């Protein structure tokens, strides 16, 4: 019986950092499977990658917030004799505003995508990742290191991603599986509009282009790094956070988030 072919599964590749991650992995010779809800965008990206002479990615239209998503992806891959060598969990979103005032259903949807789906996909394919000496790249945020007034659930979800992924890095190392957490700072993408960020909010000394974030994440994964924080400014911020009084961090984050517009306006 022929062995299943190894592929790189990337979620949330329809725009922003996810699309750039797809381009970077493809440029480095990986065969891709792109999973997200917006199939038209994934097909356009697959066409773009194929036009460069690389293997055309397989596109899977899937709602990752559904509990069956990981199983559905696994079945779709098995049907084509494919299995993951790398899993890139990029799909996620944020919402800005006081937690008691934002729609609760939307916040629970955020947890389903940012936390539950990422956890499921990180664990679902460990056997194939082991067979192919691959790894997992989980996209968190600099927000993972901070308390998050006015964006409480999002910050908490990214803190979970960082904690979970660091532990998994340790647990799976003996099996030859790399686990890297990518923690970007501000990146001007569609995420800003979805979260309710004001125009120009992401343009700061900490901001990094999505392509640079993707390249840093890829290199970090291939080198087996535990955490990757793109940009010297963001590295400095995360290094200083443990030494800043928590009460001051609350005020700084609250003031920054207060400059955002309200969700849905």
Instruction: Just list the catalytic residues.
Output: 154
Token representation of residue 156: 């908490």
Cα-flanking dihedrals φ and ψ of residue 138, to 5°?
Answer: -105, 125
C-alpha distances (whole Å) from 247 to each of 116, 136, 149, 183, 253 are 30, 34, 12, 23, 10
Residues ≥6 apart with Cβ < 8 Å to 81: 2, 4, 5
Tell which residue, 88, 92, 139, has the closest CA to residue 112: 92
Residues ≥6 apart with Cβ < 8 Å to 261: 96, 196, 197, 198
Cα-flanking dihedrals φ and ψ of residue 147, to 5°?
Answer: -75, 155
CB burial of residue 258 (10 Å; 0-12, 13-18, 19+): exposed
> How far apart, in whole angstroms, are the C-alpha atoms of residue 257 and residue 123?
33
Token representation of residue 43: 């097909």
* CA distance between the termini of the chain: 56
């Amino acid at each position: 019986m022929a062995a299943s072919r190894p592929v790189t599964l990337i979620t949330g590749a329809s725009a922003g950092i996810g699309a750039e991650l797809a381009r970077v992995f493809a440029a480095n010779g990986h065969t891709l499977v792109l999973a997200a809800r917006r199939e038209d965008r994934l097909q356009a990206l697959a066409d773009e990658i194929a036009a460069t002479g690389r293997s055309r990615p397989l596109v899977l239209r899937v709602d990752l917030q559904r509990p069956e998503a990981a199983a559905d992806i696994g079945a779709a891959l098995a049907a084509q004799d494919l299995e993951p060598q790398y899993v890139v969990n990029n799909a996620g979103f944020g919402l800005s505003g006081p937690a008691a005032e934002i729609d609760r259903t939307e916040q629970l949807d955020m947890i389903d995508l940012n936390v539950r789906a990422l956890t499921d996909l990180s664990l679902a394919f460990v056997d194939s990742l082991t067979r192919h000496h691959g790894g997992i790249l989980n996209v968190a945020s600099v927000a993972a290191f901070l308390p998050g007034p006015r964006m409480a659930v999002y910050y908490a979800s990214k803190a979970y991603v960082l904690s979970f992924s660091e532990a998994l890095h340790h647990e799976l190392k003996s099996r030859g599986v790399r686990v890297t957490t990518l923690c970007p700072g501000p990146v001007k993408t569609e995420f800003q509009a979805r979260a309710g960020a004001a125009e120009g909010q992401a343009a700061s000394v900490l901001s990094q282009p999505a392509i640079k974030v993707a390249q840093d994440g890829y290199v970090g994964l291939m080198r087996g790094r535990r955490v990757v924080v793109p940009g010297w400014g963001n590295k400095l911020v995360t290094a200083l956070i443990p030494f800043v009084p928590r009460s001051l961090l609350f005020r700084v984050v609250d003031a920054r988030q207060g400059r955002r517009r309200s969700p849905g306006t």
